Structure 1
C-alpha cells in the first residue's frame, strides 16, 4: 500500500524535528486485536521499525496503553529505554528512578468494592472476564455474545453507580474502571515534557486514544488505526497498514535525524 501524499509529506517534515517523540498504543496499533490479551504480539515489521527509531539519536520511543505496566512489558518486548504509560495514564515508567503507583486508603477501598461488582457481573454473564490492574479493574466482553456483553456492561454500570471516585470508560468490548483520574492525553503530555520533544508522533485505534490525539498541536502528527471519529490528521485501515507508516517514519528519521 502506498502512503497517501499528505501523510508522507507530514512524516517528512516531522522527521526533521530536533527531538522526536514516537508514542504508540499497543493493542490494535502495533499488535492486531486478539481474543486473549496475553496472546497479543506486535507485528514483526512494526516491532523492527520501533527498534530502529529507538536506536536513533534525538529520538524517544514510548508505549501508551490501557494495559497495566506488567502486562504491557510481558507482551510488548520493547527496547529497554522505551518509556511506558500503562492503565490509561495511571501508571508510568520513564526510567529506573520513577516512583511506583501508590493508592490512598480510600482509593484502595473503592477499588476493592469495584472489583467485587465486576466479579459478580462476570459470574453471571458467560464469556465475560475480569482483568485486575493496580489502579482499576476491567470488564472484558470480547468473547461474549453481543446481547450478553450489553447486559454485562449495563449490570456493571448499575452496580458501580453507588461508588464515588471512579473513572469509568467504554472501549472496544471493554469497560475500564479506575480509581485514578488519568487518561492517555495526560500520559502523552508527561512524555512530551520528560523527553523534551520538539514534535510528537502518536498513533492509536480506540476511543481512549482520542484523549492523546486531542493534545497534538502544530508540528505533531496523529494517526488513527481503523474506523471511527477521530481528532487525528490521518487514518489507516489496519495494524498491517500502520506498519508501512512506521517503516516510512523510521527510514526518514534515519536519513535526517539531528546528530
Structure 2
C-alpha cells in the first residue's frame, strides 16, 4: 500500500525541482533492486513495478535540459539494462560504479511479461592482468564456499564475483558470508556486504564515486537518489545536504528521508515528474 509522502519530503522535492536552470538539469537517480523492483529469491526474475515503470517513462519524456535519469546498481550493465526496462536516454551505472553506459535503443516493449531488447552504449572497460588473475581466484574461492552452503550461489560480474545466500539456511548463510569476507581480505580485494550478498571486487569503486562523477559529467544542479541497501549508503554519504536522499525500507541510514515500500519509491518519482511537468 502506498502511503502519502511526508510534507517535509514533498517540500524537499519541490525545492529540488526548482533548482534547475538552463544548462543545469536535475539528476534523478535510483537503485534498482529493492527500490524500483521488489526483492525476490531469483534475481533473474526481478522486474520494476508498474508504478515505477510509469514514473520512469514520464520522466524520460521530459526535456533533457530539465532532468536526466539514471539507474545505479550492483548489477552488471547488461543485466541492469535488460531487467530494468529503462527508457531511452537513461544513464546506467552497473557493478557499483565499475561500468557506465546510456540506453540508446529499445525494442519489444509491448509485452510486459518479457524484458525488452535494450541497446546500451557503454564506456570502455577492461581489467589489468593482475586484476583478472585475482578475480579468477576470488571466483574459485566463492564457488567452494557456495558448495558448502546449500542454496548459495555465485554471480559473475566483469570486475567482481558475488556470493548470494538468500536461499541458504540462516546459519550456513552466516558462515558462508564470514568465509567470503575472509576470502576478500586474503586477495586484497574490495568487499561489500549487502542484503544476503557478499560482493568481492578487484576494482575500487562505489555508487557514491560513480554518482558524483555522473553529476559532474551532466553538470547537474542537484541530485535525487533513492536506495535501500548498505551499498547505497556510500551514495547517500557522497551527496551534499542540498541534494535529496531517500532510504527505501528499514535499517540505519544517513539519508535525509525515508519511505517504506517500492510503491512509495515510485510515488517519489511520480511526484518529481508531476512537478517538472
TM-score (norm 1): 0.94
Q: Shift of residue 98 of structure 1? A: 4.7
SS of match in other structure, 1:126: coil
Structure 1: distance between partners of 2:175 and 2:50: 37
- Does the alignment pair 1:123 with 2:129? no
Match of 1:226 among 249, 262, 270: 249
Residue segments in structure 2 that go unaligned for 5+ positions in a row: 104-119
- Answer whether contact 1:50 1:246 (CA < 8 A) is retained: yes
Q: Which has the higher contact order (CA 8 A, sep 6+)?
A: 1
Q: How does 1:91-240 map to 2 (within 5 A)?
A: 91-94=99-102, 98-164=122-188, 166-240=189-263
- Answer whether contact 2:99 2:123 (CA < 8 A) is retained: no
Q: Partner of 2:96 in structure 1?
A: 88
Q: Shift of residue 17 of structure 1? A: 2.2
Structure 2: distance between partners of 1:154 and 1:218: 35
Structure 2: distance between partners of 1:68 and 1:48: 24
Q: Partner of 1:21 in structure 2?
A: 27
* Inter-CA distance 156–241: structure 2 relative to 1 (3 Å threshold): same
Q: Partner of 1:257 in structure 2?
A: none
Residue segments in structure 1 that go unaligned for 5+ positions in a row: 255-259
Structure 2: distance between partners of 1:50 and 1:28: 16
Q: Shift of residue 97 of structure 1? A: 6.3
* Inter-CA distance 146–197: structure 2 relative to 1 (3 Å threshold): same
Q: Shift of residue 99 of structure 1? A: 2.9
Over aligned residue pairs, what C-alpha RMSD do you find? 1.3
SS of match in other structure, 2:239: coil
Q: Partner of 1:6 in structure 2?
A: 8
Q: Shift of residue 226 of structure 1? A: 0.6
Moved more, 56-65 or 149-158: 149-158
Structure 1: distance between partners of 2:161 and 2:128: 16
TM-score (norm 2): 0.88
Structure 2: distance between partners of 1:17 and 1:54: 19
Q: Shift of residue 77 of structure 1? A: 0.5
Structure 1: distance between partners of 2:58 and 2:198: 34
Structure 2: distance between partners of 1:98 and 1:130: 25
Match of 2:37 among 21, 31, 38: 31
Structure 2: distance between partners of 1:46 and 1:108: 37
